[in-house]
Structure 1
Amino acid sequence: MDKKNVKILLVDDNDVTREVLRVILRSEGYDVVGEATDGSTGLEMAVKLKPHLIMLDVVMPKISGIEILPRLKELVPTACVLMVTANKDQATIAEAVKTGIHGYVLKPFNAQKIIDTVAGVVAKISK
């Protein structure tokens, strides 16, 4: 799948994190189709936009990324999910993996880590 055809939704309550992700992804040619600042809005946008990839923060106000993960998998089963988190707690990561995420990126991250991780997931989408 060509990068420009890969639709990505960013769900993170931190404005700077979303902006950095958007700039990195768009500079690589990906289509960032939406951004949400909390889990419930992210879930609504995912259902509406049907992204190929959702980059989901773990810790957010109202409802966490871990809490909406099962609903995302149910309502948008074709979407791949990459968790983006500063949380290094192994139990949290294990819970996310058990729910079927396609990878995770620890904050703070650098551009190359995002590029490589997203490219790896996109390669799986393309198959």
Structure 2
Amino acid sequence: MDKKNVKILLVDDNDVTREVLRVILRNEGYNVVGEATDGGTGLELALKLKPDLILLDIVMPKISGTEILPRIRELLPDARVLMVTANKDQETITEVVKNGIHGYILKPFNAQKIIGTVEAVVAKINK
């Protein structure tokens, strides 16, 4: 799939993190179609925009990434989900893996890590 055709949704409560992700991804030619600051809004946008890839934070106000992940997987089974978080707790990692994430990016991250992980996931879309 061509990068410009890959629709990406960013869901993270940290404005700086979303901005950095947006800049990195757009500079690489990806199509960032939406952004949300909490899980509830993220789920609404995901259902509306039907992204190919969702970069989802775990810890957010109102509704966390771990809470909406099962709903995303149920309602948008073709969407790929990358967790982007500073949370290194083994229980949490086990839970999100069990719920079907396609990758995990630990904060702090750099552009190379984001691009490499996104490219690996995008390469599996439509295969």
TM-score range for the pair, normalised by the shorter chain length? over 0.9
Runs of 4+ in 1 over 6 A off after TM superposition: none
Identity of paired residues, percent?
82
Shift of residue 77, structure 1, vs aligned partner: 1.1
Alignment RMSD, CA only?
0.5
**How many equivalent pairs are there?**
127
Alignment match, 1:83: 83
In 2, Cα distance between equivalents of 1:25 and 1:82? 14
Shift of residue 30, structure 1, vs aligned partner: 0.2
In 2, Cα distance between equivalents of 1:112 and 1:90? 24
Alignment match, 1:57: 57
In 1, Cα distance between equivalents of 2:30 and 2:63? 27
In 1, Cα distance between equivalents of 2:50 and 2:102? 16
Matched residue type, 1:46? A
TM-score (norm 2): 0.99
Deviations 1:77-100 (A, max 9, x none): 110000000000011011000000
Matched residue type, 1:48? K
Matched residue type, 2:69? L
TM-score (norm 1): 0.99
Q: Which runs of 5+ in 2 are unaligned?
A: none
In 2, Cα distance between equivalents of 1:62 and 1:27? 31
Alignment match, 2:120: 120
Matched residue type, 1:70? P
